[in-house]
Amino acid sequence: MASTEPIKNKPSKTAVPLESAAPKPEQVDDNTQNQVNNLEKDEVVSKEEQSQPAPQEENKTENQSETTDSSALFQAIGIITGKVNFTLSEDKERSTITIGNKEYPLLYASRKQRAYDALKKEIEATGESIQRLVVYPNFTHFPGRDQPPNVSFQVVGFDKGRQDDTISQQLQDMEFKLCGLWQFIPVCRTPCISVFKNFTKERLDHIKQSEPARKVKFMKASHLPLFWRDALVPPFRFNPKAPKEEQGRPVFIQIKAKFVPHRDAFEFDSLLELPQEKPPRFLKASKDDKATAMAQKKAALKAAGKDFGPPRGKPTASGSSAERTFKGKPTKDFKGKPLEMPKPKPKTQQ
């Protein structure tokens, strides 16, 4: 990255051009390149000419040597400060962090368990539950656009002020470094920064050896809602009615943003780099793998005697023809013969 100095949001939209510089390609051997070409056909490896990306998961941000030889990377990492709580329920430990008056789950990946265990020991030794944590943000969206996402944080480490030149020194409390595709997604009214898995040869080999369900989970993207007033570039919005050549594509942005608990979203703070038309190479799940993983999940739930989800659409008709044609709801139980209607009174002759 050429510079980490924030660029305040002062220039107008027309005054700031997009960077068209593409990231440098990774040096790989012929065998690896053939694997990449095959996976591009299967929509696993992103192509520069794609018009709409697909969803992803957690972000690897620490070891840049595993990623392509480029200064630009998909990334989402930041600092939160709050009261850390550890509770035991049904022999299962649950950890949360309270920020203001909101409580969020604290998670950890298996490779980060040492950092999680160190945090527990730090709190037990010092008795200080207010901690400054380095975290990855996790947002789980639901099909209803009006339903807010579930928000949690994955622990990367905690700051004790012993190291210089680390991410915890570069960012203030509640600040995050977000690098991804700037776009709308179908399940969120707020535009998002979509953070995908960076492409590496190791991850490519891992994907080729994994089952479809593990592939989809591994390549799942993080879609982070972002409020950016007077954004330099508009978020991409897919138009199903427009031809493919007219769709356009999302730009890659690198910004600093603040997490706002009462909105469960991020607010733009400053630019770290100018927006780029071409993103770094990333991984995404193919349509075939998604369909296979979904079918396997349905089959597993059915075998366990569980419904995959709530029934959709109108219920099927059953019972007598009267039950099928009756559209209202009876107010009483009808037993025996129905009451006879009173006969009309004879008209009096004048």
**pLDDT score for 206:** 85
The residue count of the chain comes to 350
**pLDDT score for 320:** 43
**pLDDT score for 41:** 47
What are the φ/ψ torsions at residue 104 (nearest 5 degrees)? Answer: -125, 140
**pLDDT score for 6:** 47
**pLDDT score for 38:** 46
By the 10 Å C-beta count (0-12 exposed, 13-18 middle, 19+ buried), 57 is classed as: middle
Whether 239 and 93 have beta carbons less than 8 Å apart is answered as no
**pLDDT score for 177:** 97
Question: Strand, helix or coil at 137?
Answer: strand
**pLDDT score for 33:** 47
Whether 185 and 193 have beta carbons less than 8 Å apart is answered as no
Q: List per-block mean pLDDT (blocks of 10 residues) for the chain, which spans 350 residues.
A: 44 40 39 47 48 37 39 94 91 92 93 90 94 96 88 91 70 97 96 95 86 85 96 94 90 97 97 95 85 85 72 45 46 56 66
Q: Which helix (H) or strand (E) holds 254?
A: strand 251-260
Q: How far apart are CA 224 and CA 216, in angstroms?
A: 19
Which 8-state DSSP code applies to residue 220?
A: B
Report pTM. Answer: 0.68
**pLDDT score for 261:** 96
What does the radius of gyration of the chain's CA atoms come to, in whole angstroms? 27
Angle formed by the axes of helices 30-41 and 201-208, to 10°? Answer: 60
